[in-house]
Amino acid sequence: MAQTPVKVTVTGAAGQIGYALLFRIASGQLLGADVPVTLSLLEIPQAVKAAEGTAMELDDCAFPLLSGIEITDDPNVAFDGANVALLVGARPRGKGMERGDLLQANGGIFGPQGKAINDHAADDIRVLAVGNPANTNALIAQQHAPDVPAERFTAMTRLDHNRALSQLAAKLGVPVTEIKKMTIWGNHSATQYPDLFHAEVGGKIAAELVDEAWLRDTFIPTVAKRGAAIIEARGASSAASAANAAIDHVFDWVNGTAWTSAAIPSDGSYGVPEGLISSFPVTSRDGKWEIIQGLEIDAFSRERIDATVRELEEERSAVRELGLI
């Protein structure tokens, strides 16, 4: 019997990441080469026409796995029966906008989307927030979806993870495939902590293969500020690499993986307050993320994990004060 298509909802579908993402989903890279999908594209009314243009191009690819496309500006329609939700559309920081303004604007997007997911999505819905501030946007959506298991709301730090792999591989002159157990801790922001004290290269601890000054003054800031460097160079934020990371995150969540990084609701592990959506070292098994336990955290790492987690706590307090959660 033909398999029922998986419904994948993409918000901000007419944006840059959307354009890099949709074709890969339709070609089977998000869920697997034998899994049919229907795409639901959510946009704001002014961008629906552009989304229709992208849908025309999707049609023109004649993807064997793509069984349908719907385009809407109504979250209740977009998330109806959705199995996977990629929350990409977000309000970018404008000139003179304070952090509170940005959180307020995104609360107006992710709150109603969370409620629509709560009311209409399929029972197995999995949500990945990509739009920034991704961790806190995921939290806002989650808090508006009390009927959905909390752990189904995640945020993307896989791009940071992939950036860390690539920087370390270049430094050591090894293929990325030689690097195991990379971890990004905390927020998808400049405070994130890419950890080389647990990463391994050829069975050796990565931090012992590089000098401390490079690790502290080059590696960590290069990974943490890579998003800003891309914006500076391209005049626009990362799009194809962000889409690639979203594909990696969802594929691994659904199909299972050994050690990677994902921002998931904290259960209190490693001193991260419960409920914060923070990046951890994780595995995925039977469709669930699990935090890798039992790692020793030295003072260097502790200080940096605490700093990025503090920022997440501040963002949570700010959205609470704004009445967004």
Which residue ranges make up the site for ligand LMR (CB under 6 A)? 132, 159, 227, 230, 237-238, 242
46 is in an annotated binding site: no
Query: Could you give the maximum distance between any two Cα atoms of the chain, in Å?
Result: 59
305 is in an annotated binding site: no
Nearer to ligand LMR, 227 or 281 (CB): 227
Rounded to a whole number of angstroms, the minimum distance from the CB of residue 15 to ligand LMR is: 11
Is residue 41 a contact point for ligand NAD (CB under 6 A)?
no
Nearer to ligand NAD, 11 or 200 (CB): 11
In terms of Cα–Cα distance, which of 187, 92, 159, 160 is closest to 131?
92
Which entry of ligand NAD, ligand LMR, none binds 90, CB below 5 to 8 A by partner kind? ligand NAD
The active-site residue, picked from 161, 188, 198, 249, is 188
187 is in an annotated binding site: no
Is residue 44 a contact point for ligand NAD (CB under 6 A)?
yes
Nearer to ligand LMR, 129 or 196 (CB): 129
13 is in an annotated binding site: yes
Nearer to ligand LMR, 159 or 324 (CB): 159
Tokens representing residue 230 in the block: 């891309």
In terms of Cα–Cα distance, which of 212, 214, 170, 219 is closest to 192?
219
143 is in an annotated binding site: no
User: How many CB atoms lie under 10 A from the CB of residue 295?
Assistant: 16
Asked about 188 being catalytic, the answer comes back as yes
Residue-level length of the chain = 325
Q: In sequence order, what are the residues at sequence separation of 6 or more whose Cβ sits closer than 8 angstroms to the Cβ of residue 153?
A: 114, 127, 129, 138, 139, 141, 142, 145, 265, 277
Summarize the annotated binding site for NAD(+) as residue ranges.
12-18, 106, 113, 130-132
Binding site for ligand NAD (CB under 6 A): 11-12, 14-18, 42-44, 47, 88-90, 92, 109, 130-132, 134, 156, 159, 188, 237-239, 242
